Chains A and B, each alone.
Chain A
Amino acid sequence: QVQLQQWGAGLLKPSETLSLTCAVDGGSFSGYYWTWLRQTPGKGLEWIGEITHSGSATYNPSLRSRVTISVDTSKNQFSLKVTAVTAADTAVYSCVRGVREGYYYYMDVWGNGTTVTVSS
């Protein structure tokens, strides 16, 4: 049973860098799309971006200038960095496994989520 264990700082000041890491435990690291999402009561679920085990990343254009997703295959981990955070980045951030079956894609394993609050 694959599990995603995530961690990182939960309280940031404006202009700081958000940094989260997710470890993949109990399953293959290759062949999937390792994804970061965030969720707020107001904006709902927002896809931040994804990365493959080979390091090919795709980002949401709305966040692209501030976001970096990286992968460490030696540890079966992937990470998220968001620079210059503002209050608008306050959300629950989750790491997720994306699966492609033929032409179809869905997300099937989720981390527990990290509440990130940006406040001065």
Chain B
Amino acid sequence: DIQMTQSPSSLSASVGDRVTITCRASERISTYLNWYQQKPGKAPKILIYAASTLHSGGPSRFSGSGSGTDFTLTISSLQPEDFATYFCQQSYRTPYTFGQGTKVEIK
């Protein structure tokens, strides 16, 4: 299986901050990388697919980049509704696998 490793596992930030989350794959996956946002008690929500394509309806403050093994999710200006846990997921090969999540908390 392809292992996905996110860092950090959690971070504290303030409204308006620029936030960057990193995801590393255990082998090269081109740009077959998705990012999801999950709020407590809710199902995950797709934010970005194909490493950098913003899903329809997603706020433009979210962006993704990377290719191969290293990827980043950036929130350009953190908003109150962005406090949540973020997961990366590879769609290069089944079994699809997820990172362990990054919890973004209020500072």
Contact = CB atoms under 8 A, between A and B. Distances in A.
Interface in A105-120: 105-108, 110-113
Interface residues on A, range: 20 to 34
A58 to B, nearest CB: 5
B30 to A, nearest CB: 9
Interface string A35-67: 000000000111100100000001011100000
A104 B29 CA distance: 11
Interface string A82-105: 000000000000100000010111
Interface residues on B, range: 20 to 34
Interface of A: 44-47, 50, 58, 60-62, 94, 101, 103-108, 110-113
Interface of B: 1, 31-32, 34, 36, 43-46, 49-50, 53, 55, 87, 89, 91, 94-101
A111 B44 CA distance: 10
- Which of A45, A62, A106, A110 has most B Cβ within 10 Å? A106
Contact of B101 (A44, A62, A94, A110): A44
Contacts of A112: 43
Contact of B43 (A44, A106, A111): A111
